[in-house]
Homo-oligomer: A and B are copies of this chain.
Amino acid sequence: MGEVDGRAIVEVRSSIIPETVNREFRLRRRPVGRIAPDDFELVRAPVPKAGPGEALVRNLYLSLDPTNRIWVEDVEQYMPPVQLGEVMRGSGLGQVVESNDPALPPGTIVNGLLGWQDYAVLGGTRGVMAQAVPAGLPVPLPTLLGALGVTGVTAYFGLLDIGQPKAGETVVVSAAAGATGSVVGQIARIKGCRVVGIAGGPEKCGWITRELGFDAAVDYKAADWRDRLRAATPAGVDLDFENVGGEIMDEVMGRMNLGGRVVLCGMISGYNEGKPMHGRFDTILMKRLRVQGFIVIDYLPRFPEAIMQLAQWMAEGKLKHRDTIVDGLERAPEALNLLFDGGNVGKLIVKIADPPLKL
């Protein structure tokens, strides 16, 4: 650590770190079914210090995603499950408040796996993965977790790269008023597809058709939702962007045309079950479907391409979004259940703090 740097940092720390306590949600036990508040333990630890090459980040916004529920399950998955006693993994936005990394000066906004806690340490050997966000973006910070963040990028590559939609095709999106689904549907509209969204309740269905421009919405809470799906897809379904799984997926797959594609982005209906999730392989065979699983981290090197295009569509008014913001880190566990209860519209975010340094 350079001396001058060291002094500067100490001065900064003393003036801008608002708390001396870091609240950390540690995984106490593996949830069975829905997340229960005491599946996590809220530990109060000293705010960590940035060691050589490290940066200390004040966490500002926490992204809540269906995949969080997978991370706490002890099953084979695309990253190691969160271990008992570990701070809960979560992606979020934060601001560097103390730094021994010249590439991350204090004030920098970073986006990464900051965890369910007030402070995170970046870099070095113990640090989490995070990237600096370009300064001066003309969007509110939470948007960088949603429509212009990992969620938007998921929609972009999942639909375009895996799904390969063609103009005139019918695209069905489940969890259509959710963070990913709402972006998927709008991109499919931009590409000239007929877009049918499946969502729960008249408010969400109204939002995606009236504000987002979906061609039709199917309220899966209506008793006759299967009939409504059939009526909304008179030419069958060419592409299913699947976020839900279970009986909704089965029904959509039953409507699919020969040679259709299923972009398997998620299956939230099964995440609380803790059981293997199945689907109709006979339908895949008879209809010669292509079902392809997809996790956005495989596209990490291409994130900028997606974000630039999404930002342009947003600037042109073609891409709208909504965020559901829950105030206070302490509410993260209960807030996560909103995803499974259909309690959010658009991106679900926990606000942890305001930026302590001027943006």
Contacts and interface: CB of A to CB of B under 8 A. Distances in A.
Nearest to A265: B285
A81 to B, nearest CB: 12
A76 interface: yes
B282 A270 contact: yes
A290 interface: yes
Contact of A282 (B276, B280, B282, B283): B276
A280 B276 contact: yes
A280 B280 contact: no
A293 B284 contact: yes
B284 A264 contact: yes
Complex copy number for this chain: 2
A278 B276 CA distance: 11
Nearest to A279: B281
B286 A289 contact: no
A281 B277 contact: yes
A279 B279 CA distance: 6
Contacts of A318: none
A293 B298 contact: no
Contacts of A264: 281, 284-285
Interface of A: 75-78, 245, 249, 264-267, 270, 276-295, 298
15 contacts: A76-B286, A266-B285, A267-B285, A270-B282, A276-B280, A276-B282, A277-B282, A277-B285, A278-B278, A279-B284, A281-B291, A283-B293, A284-B291, A285-B293, A285-B295
